[in-house]
Amino acid sequence: MTRIKTDICIIGAGSGGLSIAAGAVQMGAKVVLLEGHKMGGDCLNYGCVPSKALIASAKQAYAMGHGAALGVADVVPAVDYAAAKDHVHDVIATIAPVDSVERFEGLGVNVITEYGRFISPTEVQAGDTVIEARRFVIATGSGPFVPPIPGLADVKVYTNEDIFDLRTRPDHLIIVGGGPIGMEMAQAHVRLGSKVTVIEGAVAMGKDDPEMAAIVLDNLRAEGVEILEGAQAEKVSGKGKKITVHTPKGDITGTHLLMAVGRKVNIDKLDLDAGNVAYDRGGVTVGDNLRSTTNKKVYAVGDVAGGMQFTHVAGYHAGVVIRSMLFGLPSKQRSDHIPWATYTDPELSQVGLTEAQARDKHGDRLEVVRFEFEHNDRAIAERKTKGLIKVMVVKGKPVGASIAGHQAGELIGMWAMAIANGLKMSAIANTVLPYPTIGEVNKRAAGAYFSPRLFDSAMVKRVVGFVQRWLP
């Protein structure tokens, strides 16, 4: 048995773990990084990267069949599903060196390609190595949750961990779960030539603003995605190459089944009890400083910290933890400025409070400003006019923004910056943007906040009238 003493031991080489490892070692700390599976974690290998690559293939196929409005004849695209998957894996391979063992060893990180588990509050074992560290960081992320539906064990069930390895296009893909992953994969597969049925026990895209979700869902239905809401999957059965999902609203039979009902944190292999690390089904129990409530040597970041499950949150957590571990500075996380996006077409993004949340919290102090994409000149030029932005404003400051439309994932960045830095609506309104751009949607939304104050104000009109009479 080999023993190592180090400053920081990181368990998990996903987004959060890699960010901490790179930052800490380059600032002089001794770092051991443990990864028992794939460097880069879920995002690179099974999540953000492959899904967006497949969506790009689907977007190209759709564009080829929908060019007539732009003066380009529609053609039926010859989709090679296996070649699209080659594209997906080429994208992963292109990015992988940035997250590789070789790169991090080159930075000075001691990388051990084994799973880590606590054997005491101050020690973790990985293979035949015991690591004693001043600080531990749990960054093990999450994986797909497969619910215990009767009959599920008797059929082939795909999740985001293996759907990108499937090389034969599904004739009829059944997706259980109408959240972001389910809806992204539904639209991608319809555009690549599959029939798709989404089965959702409650409401599709139920965590998003209903008005915004409706814009996206209407478009998906128009493209051919069948969405069955309020239909809990009660049982699954299979016969030959057919799979049937039984619901109170009827039975759906297809050729392939994708489970996309949510995520579960990866803590089973950690033996947290031995490390005196408190946890529940949501992950490691931490305070706002991301430090374990029961073992002060231990931090948790990303999905396993029990909050928002997004790659960029793990990266943000890394900065919070580094300030605390390396410099001893008080450092706490916040979530009000964290944006997220669903990469359907049109996209849907959110930061801060939704309209309903803002009304509950701020009541009559809330103002909601709106701007439709159909009034944006660039959107008109590109035939991308289906969309809406809503900004929730309290005392001149945005407290939330919801966007459904073309490039919504890009547009939300301005509002995330505003909320993160306490900027007022005037900061957006005063920003000069190039014309014509989709980004002007943000500025026009800010203008919608000030317009009634300027153009509907009797006081403003009296002042202008007075100045005009006396101005030399």
Q: What is the DSSP secondary-structure string of 162-179?
A: TGGG--S--SEEEEE--S
The SS3 of residue 428 is helix
- In sign, the C-alpha dihedral spanning 274, 278, 280, 285 is negative
Residue 362, token pair as written in the block: 């701020």
Residue 73, token pair as written in the block: 């004849």
Find the helix packing angle between 210-223 and 180-191, rounded to 10°. 20
Residue 137, token pair as written in the block: 């960081």
Residues 6+ apart with CB under 8 A from 64: 74, 75, 76, 77
Give pTM, 2 decimals: 0.94
Mean pLDDT by 10 residues, the chain (472 residues): 96 97 96 96 94 98 96 97 98 97 97 98 97 98 95 96 97 97 98 98 96 98 98 94 95 98 96 98 96 98 94 95 93 95 98 98 97 98 98 98 98 98 97 97 95 70 72 74
Q: What is the pLDDT of residue 116?
A: 97
- Compute the distance between CA of residue 286 and CA of residue 284 in angstroms, rounded to an integer: 6
CA within 13 Å, CB half, 161: 12
- CA 204-208-211 angle, to 5 degrees, is 85
Q: What is the pLDDT of residue 468?
A: 75
What helix, strand, coil percent values describe the chain, rounded to 5? 40, 25, 35
- CA 283-213-344 angle, to 5 degrees, is 80
Q: What is the pLDDT of residue 1?
A: 86
Cβ burial, residue 56 (10 Å; 0-12/13-18/19+): middle
Do the Cβ atoms of 135 and 297 come closer than 8 Å? yes
The SS3 of residue 279 is strand
Q: What is the pLDDT of residue 374?
A: 98
- Compute the distance between CA of residue 137 and CA of residue 12 in angstroms, rounded to an integer: 8
Q: What is the pLDDT of residue 83?
A: 98
Q: Say how many C-beta atoms besides its own lie within 10 A of residue 267's C-beta.
A: 20
Q: What is the pLDDT of residue 456?
A: 65
Q: What is the pLDDT of residue 455?
A: 63
- Structural domains of the chain, with CATH: 2-39+100-144+264-327 (3.50.50.60), 152-262 (3.50.50.60), 339-455 (3.30.390.30)
- Compute the distance between CA of residue 459 and CA of residue 471 in angstroms, rounded to an integer: 18
User: 132-147: string of b/e by CB count within 10 Å (b at 16+)?
Assistant: ebebbbbbbbbbbeee
- Compute the distance between CA of residue 143 and CA of residue 323 in angstroms, rounded to an integer: 28
